[in-house]
Amino acid sequence: MSDSAVLDLARDLLSRPSVTPHDQGCQSLLIQRLEAVGFECEIMVFEDVTNLWARRGRASPLLVFAGHTDVVPTGPLEQWLSNPFVPTERNGILYGRGAADMKSSIAAFVVAVEEFLAGNADHDGSIALLITSDEEGPSINGTVKVCETLSRRGARFDYCIVGEPTSADTLGDVVKNGRRGSLSGRLVVKGKQGHVAYPHLARNPIHMLAPALAELTEKTWDTGNAYFPPTTFQVSNLNSGTGATNVVPGTATLDFNFRFSTASKPETLKQYTEAILDKHNLDYDLVWTLGGEPFLTPPGELSAALTQAILDETGIQTQMSTTGGTSDGRFIARMCPQVIEFGPINASIHQVNEHIRIDTLDPLKNIYRRTLQHLLSVR
């Protein structure tokens, strides 16, 4: 055992190979700790995904910590300096899959709650944890299903901290008070296959697509706002051809994605896109996938409490940001007016030799505890 309760719990969690959607006993470990300090714990299973909802108290306001015990696959094992599921310390750094994303956050919050309750047993409000094993996967049987279930029961969150690794260079330098939405499309442009020597007998879908694609890439979709950069359109894949050099292909398939702000709506982006395709007289099929709506938490009680906690613990004036990909915060924001993401430095997430500096674990825990004290201590 070390002299850090956070490090001990983080090591225990990291030793469990909980690759999406498997939990491998992580949530059972958390239940043991949480029930010991008065939490009522409920396991919610949807398909192959295990989720934990743990709550202490019934009064308002309710502060929720949200996170995930699942991790991404390890990648090439031979490139790891140590077994990714044997937490290893070298030169003040803890290595293991999930060290930064986000088992250390979960460990820090559990210990923060324990310490807070030791001195504030009669605190205001309530505390809860929402933990899933489906954040790194398709995200269809995890947090979204738990939120839907709780909403049907009439539950309402007041504050939520998602423990995603948001810090850039130093612990506490960046927190996320929102995220852009994600809208993807798969476009199949239909032409007519033929011999390249007889182009008048064929219709090349690549040639037909090119002018429309140029217009899509050059269009200004919106100008963003005070919290978000402008919406972006990016092509992720363009595929066509039969493999032969003398054949005009019959179809061309384009995969693209919008990362959009609150200045745009999915339906509007769809309408504009289809209007451009129709303008160029394309024969096409288009399938849309909405990965998530954008969400935004304007300055309020939660951001003020977390900002002050970071300043008190680290001396850093944090920066609010909405950059990056999607997170489970998009589901929680449907039932919670104030959702903020904050966690460790994110430089090694999803990489081989994922790691976290050990000397950031207790400060991370202290920031979570200080936030609890700001929001829920008896006044």
> What pairs with residue 178 in β-bridges?
296
Among candidate residues 23, 70, 164, 328, the one labeled active-site is 70
Q: How far, rounded to the nearest angstrom, does the alpha carbon of residue 83 sit from its chain's CA centroid? A: 25
Tell me the one-letter amino acid at 183: L
182 CB-near residues (< 8 Å, 6+ apart): 257, 258, 259, 260, 290, 291, 292, 325, 326
How many CB atoms within 10 Å of residue 84? 24
How many CB atoms within 10 Å of residue 334? 14
Is residue 135 flagged as an active site residue? yes
Contact 356, 178 (CB under 8 A): no
Contact 176, 342 (CB under 8 A): yes
1 CB-near residues (< 8 Å, 6+ apart): 8
Q: How far, rounded to the nearest angstrom, does the alpha carbon of residue 136 sit from its chain's CA centroid? A: 8
How many CA atoms, within 13 angstroms, populate the side-chain half-sphere of residue 296? 17
Among candidate residues 101, 135, 136, 313, the one labeled active-site is 135
Alpha-carbon distances of 280 from 47, 186, 212, 232, 284, rounded to whole Å: 44, 17, 6, 21, 11
Is residue 70 flagged as an active site residue? yes
Q: Which residues are catalytic?
A: 70, 135
